[in-house]
């Protein structure tokens, strides 16, 4: 049932958008091409920051420090019985969207997208946003210096999201 | 913040691999990371183009605007500080709707306009107002209804059911958003 609804959402959404565009007498083809054009610029703008992040993250991950750190952590907290990648993804998700996406790619490669780890990673990536990035950009633009309790609420929200994801994944798989 | 974390990652990585004699792996990774990045961009680019095109139709035809009117009653409850019919509401709702459709790049300009509108209402220009924080809490929760990037990535790696994660994502997003908004209210009352 879930997969039936999920399968229907994307095609249905496209259908609604196309039909609405025709009803409103929009040149849907031209407008589509116009919008799609932006992907070149966006990808080029994405490249430097993504390169920086993948460079930093991969050095960090390949050094073996993360597995060392989380191995120690798992010794103290046996209930944290997750692969190292998913733990680092939980930490990195709120810092950088592209680096957690890079880790998700690794997870898919090593465990497969349909494994428990793969599904948990997908949900973590899809159900929250880069808290630090959002706060920096938005407050920075309007010149806010004192952000008061914004960071606290943002981080608590991320932790809540991680907890709910873990519970849900264990229920559905 | 990002500057410090980035430096920290590289320093710890190189230092730790040096201690454990793992320097060779890190050495190959330094060049490999450039290729990994390019591969990822090439995989993402076509999918992004497709969705930017579709969403441009939704935006030009006024569908996004229509949808944003639909959620305005909820917004009046969430942002009691903002006067009724203030322009901030239209930017906030456009931002939320763009986010829902997975249009992160369209959402950001609306979001910045919303922040400017809220800054006009703000008494102390250096300090974040309550409505600004509520707005950013909504944004950090990532209200995406269709995480297209993840679905295409799942397809790419041969998932038998790439869209399986859609409903779980929506459940997680909205339940964590709901709890986050309650926490935001509690903080707002405490910091009054």
- If you write DSSP's letter for every residue of A118-155 in order, what string do you get? HHHHHHHHHS---HHHHHHHHHHHHT--B-TTHHHHHH
Q: Measure the CA–CA gap between B18 and A69, rounded to whole angstroms.
A: 16
Residues 88-147 of B with CB under 8 A from A: 101, 105, 108, 111-112, 115-116, 118-119, 125-128, 132-133, 136-137, 139-142, 144-147
Question: Does residue B178 carry a pLDDT above 90?
Answer: yes
Let me know if B107 is exposed, middle or buried by CB neighbors in 10 A (0-12, 13-18, 19+): buried
Task: Judge whether A165 and A120 are in contact, CB under 8 Å.
Answer: yes
| Per-residue pLDDT tens digits for B19-65 | 998 888 888 888 898 998 888 778 768 877 887 788 788 878 888 77
CA B35 – CA A53 distance, rounded (Å): 13
Q: What angle do CA A31, A33, A37 make, to 5 degrees?
A: 115
What is d(CA B39, CA B17) in angstroms, rounded to the nearest whole number? 26
pLDDT at position A2 is: 52
**Mean pLDDT, residues A28-38 taken together:** 90
Whole-angstrom CA distances from B47 to A39, A100, B15, B42 are 9, 18, 38, 10
ipTM over 0.90: no
Give the mean pLDDT of B153-168. 88
Which residue would you say has higher pLDDT here, B105 or A98? A98
Among B173, B88, B104, residue whose Cα is nearest residue A97? B104
Residues 112..151 of A with a Cβ closer than 8 Å to B: which?
112-114, 118-119, 122-123, 125-139, 141-150
Contact B136 A42 (CB under 8 A): no
Mean predicted confidence (pLDDT) in A13-42: 89
Residue contact A62–B171, C-beta within 8 A: no
With 60 as the cut, is the pLDDT of residue A3 above it?
Answer: no
Is any Cβ of chain A less than 8 angstroms from the Cβ of B71? no
Cβ-defined contact of B10 to A59 (cutoff 8 Å) = yes
Question: Which of the pair, B71 or B29, is modelled with greater confidence?
Answer: B29
- A50 CB near a chain B CB, below 8 Å? yes
Task: Say yes or no to pLDDT of B2 above 60.
Answer: no
For the stretch B72-117, pLDDT in tens is 788 888 998 888 777 788 788 878 877 887 666 667 777 887 898 8
Interface test with A, best of B164, B175, B188 (most A CBs within 10 A): B164
Contact state of A51 with B33 under an 8 Å Cβ cutoff: yes
d(CA B181, CA B192): 16
Confidence label for B182 from pLDDT (cuts 50, 70 and 90): very high
What is the least distance, in Å, from the CA of B121 to any CA of chain A? 12
* pLDDT one-digit tens code per residue, A57-67: 778 877 878 76
Mean pLDDT (chain B, rounded): 84
Cα–Cα distance for residue pair A157/A149, rounded to 1 Å: 12
- pLDDT recorded at residue A6: 56
Contact A17 B61 (CB under 8 A): yes
Dihedral of the alpha carbons of B29, B31, B37, B39, in degrees to the nearest 10:
-100
Q: Is the pLDDT of residue B118 over 90?
A: yes
Q: What pLDDT is attached to residue A105?
A: 87
Per-residue pLDDT, averaged over A73-92, amounts to 72
Token pair listed for A64: 């073996």
How many percent of chain B have pLDDT more than 90?
A: 27
Q: Are B173 and A13 a contacting pair, CB within 8 Å?
A: no
Residue A70 has pLDDT above 80, yes or no: no
**pLDDT for the residue A118:** 92
Read off the pLDDT of each residue in B112-139 and give the average, rounded to a whole number: 91
Contact B142 A127 (CB under 8 A): yes
């Amino acid at each position: 049932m879930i997969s039936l609804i999920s399968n229907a959402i994307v095609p249905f959404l496209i259908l609604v958008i196309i039909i609405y565009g025709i009803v409103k007498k929009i040149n849907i083809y031209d407008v589509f091409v116009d919008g799609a054009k932006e992907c070149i610029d966006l990808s080029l703008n994405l490249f430097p920051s993504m390169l920086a992040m993948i460079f930093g993250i991969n050095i960090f991950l390949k050094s073996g420090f993360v597995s060392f750190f989380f191995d120690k952590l798992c010794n103290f907290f046996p209930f944290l019985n997750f692969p190292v990648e998913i733990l680092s993804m939980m930490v990195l998700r709120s810092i950088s969207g592209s680096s957690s996406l890079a880790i998700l790619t690794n997870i898919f490669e090593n465990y497969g997208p349909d494994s428990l780890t793969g599904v948990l990673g997908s949900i973590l990536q899809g159900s929250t946003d880069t808290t630090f990035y959002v706060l920096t950009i938005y407050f920075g633009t309007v010149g806010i210096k004192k952000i008061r309790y914004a960071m606290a609420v943002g981080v608590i929200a991320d932790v809540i999201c991680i907890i709910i994801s873990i519970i849900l994944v264990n229920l559905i798989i | 913040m990002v500057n410090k974390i980035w430096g920290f990652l590289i320093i710890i990585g190189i230092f730790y691999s040096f201690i454990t004699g793992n320097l060779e792996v890190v050495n190959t990774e330094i060049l490999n990371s450039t290729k990994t990045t390019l591969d990822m961009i090439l995989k993402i680019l076509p999918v992004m183009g497709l969705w930017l095109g579709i969403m441009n139709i939704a935006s030009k035809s006024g569908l996004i605007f229509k949808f944003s009117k639909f959620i305005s009653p909820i917004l009046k409850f969430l942002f009691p500080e903002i006067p009724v019919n203030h322009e901030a509401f239209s930017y906030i709702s456009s931002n939320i709707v763009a986010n829902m459709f997975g249009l992160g790049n369209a959402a950001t300009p609306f979001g910045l306009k919303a922040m400017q509108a809220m800054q006009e209402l703000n008494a102390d220009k250096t300090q974040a107002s309550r409505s600004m924080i509520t707005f950013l809490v909504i944004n950090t929760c990532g209200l995406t209804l269709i995480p297209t990037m993840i679905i295409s990535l799942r397809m790419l790696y041969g998932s038998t059911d790439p869209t399986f994660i859609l409903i779980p994502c929506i459940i997680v997003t909205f339940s964590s958003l709901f709890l986050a908004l309650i926490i935001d209210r509690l903080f707002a009352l405490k910091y009054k």
